[in-house]
């Protein structure tokens, strides 16, 4: 989440006025994340305060994909998953246009995201991810990821001659911009709808219980084990020094498999899938490193965090998933 599109108080009030949620009381830009512009919205309705998240979808999010994302949220919410529903406009629409860009209002869910999760929280998110995969078995819409591995390789090649501006180590870790992963890519693994971005800041907890999974705007039809690998790479390393935390990785894998067992083929593929997951985040962070506007209310993220995790998975093989 972030703010690229700066809206006036009048524009925010006009947006809220198209929903039956009461009058706008406050709107605060949210700086976390890098993809879309977001605000925490508070309204007054029938004497009570209500909170929502307003999102203006920026260039990386294709407008044609929005029905998939928004219907997925409602599908998961209807299935009892801890996912925010979309708020429909007074005439039943799921989104409107703000400054020529699509925008939506969604539920605000209670909870706090955890910077450094413990084993109990990692186990809980593993369970929640498995439940998400099971809950979407009857979700018929499909979407092809716009961040496939070939696309990420091409993104990195665009900036390869500038890697040293980030860190000289980047070119050492990715001399081929990740192209070698394509030679080892596994075939015929189970597929379904995946979140594809389940970082700790996209999971909310109250007393150790997952109360929210948010930011579904990279969700797509994909390999279920890849989603496990993404989450493993996002959760299993200390945020301070990047050290691998085996107790977190083990709890996450255990939690997932309490509700959905991984096949032998899926488990064998996890080292390559984890490298691919890291490559995706390196690619988007490299692109954002050079493209982030100076006046954006956004925190630029270091590509080396996931470049080093990619190198770790390449060196360690199946051991991190035991």
Gap between the Cα atoms of 265 and 80, Å rounded: 30
Strand 48-56 to 37-45 pairing: antiparallel
Burial of 236 (0-12, 13-18, 19+ CB in 10 A): buried
Report how far apart, in Å, the C-alpha atoms of 299 and of each of 116, 168, 203, 288 are: 19, 22, 19, 10
Largest CA distance in the chain: 61
pLDDT of 87? 97
Q: What is the pLDDT of residue 36?
A: 85
Supply the pLDDT for residue 58: 85
Q: List 96's β-bridge partners, or say none.
A: 103
- Give me 250's structure tokens: 């083990």
- CA neighbor of 310 nearest in space, from 285, 288, 277, 287: 277
DSSP state at residue 218: T
Pairwise CA distance, residues 177 & 161, whole Å: 11
Question: CA 10 to CA 173: how far, in whole Å?
Answer: 49
- Check residue 33 and give its pLDDT: 54
Domains of the chain and CATH, by start? 9-107 (3.30.200.20), 119-321 (3.90.1200.10)
Start-to-end CA distance of the chain, whole Å, equals 33
Q: Is 244 helix (H, G, I), strand (E, B) or coil?
A: strand
User: Is residue 23 a contact partner of residue 44, using CB atoms and an 8 Å limit?
Assistant: yes
Q: What is the mean pLDDT of each run of 10 residues along the chain (322 residues)?
A: 80 95 93 78 91 88 90 97 96 93 95 95 98 98 96 98 97 98 95 98 96 95 98 97 97 98 98 98 94 63 96 97 94
For residues 30-60, b (16+ Cβ closer than 10 Å) or e, as one string?
Answer: beebbbbbbbebbbeeeeeebebbbbbbbee
70 CB neighbour count, 10 Å cutoff? 20
Alpha helices in the chain (DSSP H): 9-16, 66-78, 119-135, 149-159, 163-166, 168-173, 224-235, 246-259, 264-291, 304-316
Distances, alpha carbon 82 to alpha carbons 41, 187, 203, in Å: 20, 31, 9
Q: What are the tens digits of pLDDT across the range 213-263?
A: 999 999 999 999 999 999 999 999 999 999 999 999 999 999 999 999 999
Question: How many alpha carbons fall within 13 Å on the CB side of residue 39?
Answer: 24
The rounded distance, in Å, linking the Cα atoms of 44 and 22 is 5
pLDDT of residue 1: 45
């Amino acid at each position: 989440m972030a703010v690229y599109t700066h809206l006036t108080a009048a524009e925010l009030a006009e947006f809220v006025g198209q929903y039956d949620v009461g009058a706008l009381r406050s709107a605060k830009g949210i700086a976390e994340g890098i993809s879309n512009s977001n605000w925490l919205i508070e309204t007054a309705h029938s004497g009570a305060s209500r909170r929502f998240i307003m999102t203006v979808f920026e260039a990386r999010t294709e407008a044609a994909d929005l029905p998939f994302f928004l219907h997925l949220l409602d599908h998961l919410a209807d299935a009892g998953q801890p996912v925010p529903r979309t708020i429909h406009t007074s005439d039943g629409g799921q989104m409107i246009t703000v400054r020529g860009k699509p925008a939506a209002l969604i539920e605000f869910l209670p909870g706090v995201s955890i910077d450094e999760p413990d084993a109990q929280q990692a186990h809980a998110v593993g369970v929640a991810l498995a439940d998400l995969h099971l809950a979407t078995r009857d979700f018929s819409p499909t979407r092809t990821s716009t961040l496939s591995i070939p696309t990420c390789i091409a993104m990195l090649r665009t900036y390869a001659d500038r890697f040293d501006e980030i860190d000289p180590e980047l070119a050492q870790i990715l001399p081929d911009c990740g192209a070698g992963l394509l030679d080892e890519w596994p075939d015929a693994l189970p597929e379904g709808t995946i979140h594809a971005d389940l970082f700790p800041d996209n999971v909310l907890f109250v007393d150790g219980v997952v109360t929210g999974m948010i930011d579904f705007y990279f969700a797509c039809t994909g390999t279920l084990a890849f989603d496990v690998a993404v989450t493993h790479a996002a959760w299993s390393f200390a945020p301070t020094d990047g050290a691998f935390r085996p107790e977190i990785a083990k709890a996450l894998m255990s939690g997932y498999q309490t509700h959905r067992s991984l096949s032998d083929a899926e488990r064998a593929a996890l080292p390559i899938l984890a490298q691919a997951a890291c490559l995706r985040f390196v690619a988007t962070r490299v692109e954002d490193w050079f493209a982030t506007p100076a006046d954006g209310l956004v925190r630029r993220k270091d590509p080396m965090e996931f470049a080093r995790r990619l190198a770790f998975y390449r060196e360690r093989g199946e051991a991190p998933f035991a």
